[in-house]
């Protein structure tokens, strides 16, 4: 599959920004605490499912301090319809405990500090920082990965390397482009039966037959 040229990359960038300049996450949250929990729960789980789970979770544990004191079995019960709920329940409680112990109860908006928390990897940290503070970062989920490869923006086989490729290709406005590629991949450039006839980037697609998302 051919890689996109610099001219094509610039055109793709402009089209995405023009069409998705106000794009934000579809996760529902009111503050940084709720955003971080939602993003952690969304790993290998749909935003729609997370949004069904979190109202009860946030009602029961409205802040970091209450979650740090939470009963593990109760948290598991609340989030049991979420994938990998056992590990996620342990992680969000441990995350809250760490925030209370090491960050005076304030969730840090620093990449290294965020990654030090249980359940928070690079992608999760980036998604939180992109959404909450419009950080010039890229995060690669299954949708972004698929779109990046179909458009020839990356040939890398891992999400981390694809993130590097996209960051080098786009350079700025990464917070907009991340959200744009998520929504574009979720609703237009889907894994199965992509809506090619309605695609605003059809002219730049390098894989008209489709690309299997990893």
The one catalytic residue in 3, 123, 165, 172 is 123
Q: For residues 107 and 115, is the Cβ–Cβ distance under 8 A?
A: no
Task: Give the number of residues written for the chain.
Answer: 214
Distance of CA 202 to the CA centre of its chain: 24
> Please, what sign has the CA dihedral across residues 183, 185, 188, 190?
negative
What are the residue ranges of helices labelled H in the chain? 6-20, 32-41, 47-60, 64-68, 72-78, 85-102, 111-115, 122-133, 142-150, 159-170, 174-187
Burial 5-36 (b: 16+ CB within 10 A, else e): eeebbeebbebbeeebeebebbbebeebbbbb
Q: For residues 82 and 117, is the Cβ–Cβ distance under 8 A?
A: no
* Three-state DSSP class for residue 192: coil
The one catalytic residue in 141, 197, 206, 208 is 141
Nearest to 144 by CA among 214, 198, 210: 214
Is 212 catalytic? The answer is no
Is 165 catalytic? The answer is no
Token pair in block for residue 45:
């789980």
Q: Which residues are catalytic?
A: 123, 141
């Amino acid at each position: 599959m051919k890689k996109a040229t610099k001219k094509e990359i610039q055109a793709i960038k402009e089209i995405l920004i023009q069409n998705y300049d106000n794009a934000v996450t579809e996760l529902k949250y009111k503050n940084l605490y709720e955003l971080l929990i939602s993003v952690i729960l969304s790993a290998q789980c749909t935003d729609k499912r997370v949004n069904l789970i979190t109202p009860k979770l946030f009602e029961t544990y409205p802040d970091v301090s209450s979650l740090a004191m939470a009963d593990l079995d109760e948290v598991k019960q609340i989030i049991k319809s979420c994938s990998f709920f056992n590990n996620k329940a342990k992680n969000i409680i441990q995350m809250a405990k760490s925030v209370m112990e090491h960050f005076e109860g304030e969730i840090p908006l620093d990449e290294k500090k965020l990654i030090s928390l249980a359940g928070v990897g690079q992608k999760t940290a980036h998604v939180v920082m992109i959404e909450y503070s419009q950080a010039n970062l890229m995060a690669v989920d299954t949708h972004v990965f698929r779109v990046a490869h179909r458009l020839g923006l990356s040939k890398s086989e891992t999400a981390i390397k694809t993130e590097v490729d996209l960051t080098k290709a786009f350079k700025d406005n990464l917070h907009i482009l991340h959200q744009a590629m998520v929504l574009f991949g979720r609703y237009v450039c889907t894994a199965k039966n992509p809506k090619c006839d309605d695609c605003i980037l059809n002219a730049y697609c390098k894989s008209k037959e489709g690309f299997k998302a990893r």
